[in-house]
Structure 1
Amino acid sequence: MHKKPIIIGVAGGSGSGKTTVAKEVYRQFPEQSILMIEQDAYYKDQAHLPMEERLKTNYDHPLAFDNDLLIRHLQKLSEGKSVEKPVYDYPNHTRAEEVIPVEPRDVIILEGIMILEDDRLRDMMDIKLFVDTDSDMRIIRRLLRDINERGRTIDSVIDQYTSVVRPMHLQFIEPTKRYADIIVPEGGHNHVAIDLMVTKIKTILESKAML
């Protein structure tokens, strides 16, 4: 009989270190028992829209995500069925043609800025984490990342942060902190919190193995 996987949500603002936390937890387990799903892969398909419309997309708003598809995929994985995870094509602001096959696992880490915003997603999670990092650190990390990895200018990053990222964070992301079971300060640098999470997951896995 198939055992339902443990679903762990890792939320937090842009540049909070949530991806680092999720990857650190993932790294502590043998690959065969754990998988990671990024909410970023589930941005809505915009192939039907002209490019000038796609460029207006606010990626920091809940409506940018295709949570219906994400929920269907989590349900299938929970039933022991494989899914095809979408790939997002950022330069073209729409979903790519290719998909990534994902097999069911004992533990699913779901990582993203808005995962605690949707009550349907929250209800599927066994453990909910919110990575809480001061806004000055988050803007510094975002600046470095977007300039070094995405070829952006300082002015464009700051303009986007003040006009979109910050107000969306305050409106949609920060309030979801109240839904978290565990709040992790200082993101990926908080090794104590990561160790506690890993220990908790191992305990759950061991108890499942005995059933």
Structure 2
Amino acid sequence: MTKIEAARTEYQDWCRAVGVDTLEKVNETLEAGKAIELINLCEARQERKYAQAADQIYWKRNRCRIVMMSGPSSSGKTSSSLRIAQQARVLGLKPKVIELDNYFVDREHTPIDEHGERDYEALAAMDVAFLNQQLNDLLEGKEVELPKFDFKEGHRVFTGKTLRLEDGDILFMEGIHALNPDLTPDIPRDRIFNIYISALSALPGGEKDHGSTTDKRLLRRIVRDNRTRGISPEDNILRWPSVRRGEIRNIFPYEENANIVFNSSTLYDIPLLKYYAEPLLCGISESSPAYAKAQSLLHFLEIVRALKPSEIAAIPPTSIMREFIGGQTL
């Protein structure tokens, strides 16, 4: 059994243990007026998983000083990394964040894809040698000046920000290539702790079985990007195949390198996403090339009862789902 399969199986076993292992049972729970109880149960499970991840980092702290996190789009990587770092602080560790986006090569050296466009998702778009030099210097106790990538000008700059690893410091790094060993070829494997984050599990829904976790991530992305990035649901649907190709090429081949697979699914996320996504999807016209996919998503959302505003208000501000609907305080 792969690590991904094991994580999915563990989640499904938990769903059965708490008696909510299909979308029909999710609906029954909501109709029984137990939505807030379900939300609290899911949040308690997530908190336990974050704490378990931090425990493993703590146990390996004397050797593992670098935590690498990756996962496909809209898996809740940002929230999860912040929550795991928070739990690490509870144990006395001091997480230090290094942004991998600051280690791009200068724009003129970015590789060109098959369409003649600059491929910023390619590993060759990263300055691997410079990143490894800085990581090794940090592991040796040296102080380094951290780069800042100027996306407007297309090159690296230095602003005087420095970092040295002190006792208890742990580096946290997140990015699409984070679990690819070719990103850190000069770093011993036992110095790195890998975490893979994804919304792995979809619940079966009776006759309308829906097994695609990718659609759940697309719904998360539609809701988040409409709210924070000004990207319309139509544009998001049309961009999704390109996003998926990038995941297949750059993320999924390395998922089994993870020390921990973190499943960011919750039992209430589809009813929650229905409240926000349904009106957005209904606004896509029949003439749009995104219409067929929008209708497919709407057809799936028919299965579930949307959460009510009073129930949504009970979702804590630290929840992973707040990354998508807003109101997060991490």
Is the pair's TM-score, using the shorter chain for normalization, greater than 0.5? yes
2:141 aligned with 1:80: yes
For the Cα contact (< 8 Å) 1:115–1:122, is it kept in 2? Answer: no
C-alpha separation between the residues in 1 aligned to 2:255 and 2:188?
A: 12
Residue of 173, 195, 211 corresponding to 1:110: 173
The aligned counterpart of 1:194 is none
TM-score calculated relative to the size of structure 2: 0.47
Residue of 76, 86, 91 corresponding to 1:27: 86
Change (3 A) 1:147 1:72: farther
Structure 1 unpaired stretches of 5+: 50-54, 190-211
The aligned counterpart of 2:233 is 154
Q: Which has the larger radius of gyration?
A: 2
The aligned counterpart of 1:135 is 214
TM-score calculated relative to the size of structure 1: 0.70
How far 1:186 moved relative to its partner? Answer: 1.1
The aligned counterpart of 1:6 is 65
Higher strand share: 1
How far 1:4 moved relative to its partner? Answer: 6.2
Change (3 A) 1:124 1:59: farther
2:251 aligned with 1:173: yes
Change (3 A) 1:24 1:81: same
Change (3 A) 1:96 1:151: farther
Q: Which moved more, 1:62-71 or 1:3-12?
A: 3-12
2:118 aligned with 1:57: yes
C-alpha separation between the residues in 2 aligned to 1:63 and 1:146?
A: 27
**Partner SS, residue 114 of structure 1:** coil
**Partner SS, residue 129 of structure 1:** strand
Change (3 A) 1:48 1:7: closer
Residue of 95, 104, 112 corresponding to 2:155: 95
Flag the structure with more relative contact order, 1 or 2, with Cα contacts below 8 A and sequence separation at least 6.
1
For the Cα contact (< 8 Å) 1:20–1:187, is it kept in 2? Answer: no
C-alpha separation between the residues in 2 aligned to 1:128 and 1:4?
A: 13
Change (3 A) 1:48 1:57: closer
For the Cα contact (< 8 Å) 2:107–2:154, is it kept in 1? Answer: yes
Q: Which moved more, 1:150-159 or 1:173-182?
A: 150-159
Deviation readout 1:138-160 (Å, 9 max, x if unpaired): 32333334333333333433333
Aligned residues: 180
Change (3 A) 1:82 1:150: farther
Q: Which moved more, 1:168-177 or 1:144-153?
A: 144-153
For the Cα contact (< 8 Å) 2:96–2:170, is it kept in 1? Answer: yes
For the Cα contact (< 8 Å) 2:102–2:156, is it kept in 1? Answer: no
Deviation readout 1:47-99 (Å, 9 max, x if unpaired): 678xxxxx933333222222222211111111112222222344x27235354
**Partner SS, residue 138 of structure 1:** helix
Deviation readout 1:157-189 (Å, 9 max, x if unpaired): 333331x22111012201111111111111799
Amino acid of the structure 1 residue aligned with 2:100: Q
**Partner SS, residue 118 of structure 2:** coil
